[in-house]
Amino acid sequence: MKLKNIIALLALSLVLVQAKAQKATPDQLDTKKGPLTIQPVQHAATVLKWDNKTIYVDPAGGANLFTGLDAPDLILITDIHGDHMDLKTLEAINTSKATLVVPQAVADMLPAALKPKVVVLANGAKTTKFGATITAIPMYNLPETADSRHPKGRGNGYVINVGDKNIYFSGDTEDIAEMQALKNIDVAFVCMNLPYTMDVNQAAQAVLAFKPKVVYPYHYRGQDVNVFKSQVNAGDSKIEVRLRNWYPGT
C-alpha cells in the first residue's frame, strides 16, 4: 500500500476515534420498562435508547456525530431550520427502519423517499410508536409577530412518555404559557440562545414554573448555562440541573 494511502487511512481513523471520544457520556434513567439511556449529541441533537428501541431527536450536524450509535427506530424533528431538519444528515444516516414524527412544515420539505415513513403531528396531537406516546407541544417566539423566526403552529416541541416517565423537548421556543403549564415532567430539555429562542433568565423562569424533576439545558450556544443552573437551584433546589457538553470539540 502506498504511503499516501496509509496516511489517508490513519487520518480517517483518527477522525472517527475523535468523533466517538467527543460524545458526552450517556446518562440513564430508570423506568418501569427498563432503563432509558440519554445520549447528548450536538446542539439540539439527542439520542434516546429505551426498550431496545432507538429514538433520534433533531438529528443534524453530520452523520459522523452518530457514529457508534444504533440506527433509529423513531426520529422526531421539531422545526424546519437546518439545526433541526438537516436533510444531508437524514440522508446519510441509516433510516431504513425509522418512522419520522414531524410537523407539517417539515413533512413538506422531505424528499419523496422519506415521505412514506412520516407521521405528521400538529400542536396538541399525539401518536404512539413502539410503546412510546408522543405529544406535540407548541413552540414559538414572543411576542407573536408576522415575521417571527418561529411562528406558533409551525414547529413542535414534544413530550415523550416511555414507561412511566415523561420526557420533554422544548424545540425552539420562549417561555410560553404552554411550556409553563406542563405537568409531571420527569426530564426536560430546554433551549436557550439569543436571538433565536430564550435567554438563560427566561429559561430559568419557565423551568421554575413547570418544575421538571431533571432539566438539561441544550441548544445553548453562546449562553452561560452555569447562570441558568444557579437561578434554577436558587428558586427550587429540588430540580436537578444536568450540564452536559452539547458542543463536541469545544
Identify the bridge partners of residue 24 per DSSP, sorted by sequence position: none
pLDDT digits (tens, 9 = 90+) for 66-115: 999 999 999 999 999 999 999 999 999 999 999 999 999 999 999 999 99
pLDDT class of 227 with cuts at 50, 70, 90 = very high
Q: Are 155 and 172 in contact (CB under 8 A)?
A: yes
Is residue 125's pLDDT more than 90?
yes
Q: Are 233 and 239 in contact (CB under 8 A)?
A: yes
Q: How distant is the alpha carbon of residue 146 from its chain centre?
A: 26
DSSP E strands, the chain: 27-31, 34-42, 45-50, 53-57, 74-76, 99-102, 118-120, 126-129, 132-139, 155-162, 165-169, 187-191, 214-218, 240-241
Pairing of strands 132-139, 126-129: antiparallel
Three-class SS state of 84: coil
Identify the bridge partners of residue 128 per DSSP, sorted by sequence position: 133
Give the chain's length.
250
Percent over 70 (pLDDT), the chain:
91
Alpha-carbon separation of residue 68 from 61, 88, 100, 192 (angstroms) = 15, 18, 21, 28
Is residue 18's pLDDT more than 70?
no
Identify which of 29, 32, 38, 21 has the alpha carbon closest to the alpha carbon of residue 189: 38
Query: What stretch of H or E contains 63?
Result: none
Structural domains of the chain, with CATH = 27-241 (3.60.15.10)
Is residue 15's pLDDT more than 50?
no
- The C-alpha atoms of residue 209 and residue 241 are separated, in whole angstroms, by 15
Is residue 16's pLDDT more than 80?
no
Is residue 8's pLDDT more than 70?
no
Residue type, 225: V
pLDDT class of 19 with cuts at 50, 70, 90 = very low
pLDDT digits (tens, 9 = 90+) for 148-180: 889 999 999 999 999 999 999 999 999 999 999
Is residue 5's pLDDT more than 80?
no
Is residue 14's pLDDT more than 60?
no
pLDDT class of 25 with cuts at 50, 70, 90 = confident
Pairing of strands 155-162, 165-169: antiparallel
Q: How distant is the alpha carbon of residue 161 from its chain centre?
A: 15
Is residue 147's pLDDT more than 60?
yes
Most confident of 6-15, 21-30, 48-57: 48-57
What confidence score (pLDDT) does residue 245 get? 93
Is residue 2's pLDDT more than 80?
no
pLDDT class of 20 with cuts at 50, 70, 90 = very low
Spell out the alpha helix ranges (H) of 111-183: 177-180
Residue type, 248: P
- Joined grid coordinates for residue 40: 447528548
Q: In what order do the strands lie in the sheet with 155-162?
A: 126-129, 132-139, 155-162, 165-169, 187-191, 214-218, 240-241
CB within 8 Å of 228: residues ≥ 6 apart = 192, 200, 203, 204, 217, 220, 241
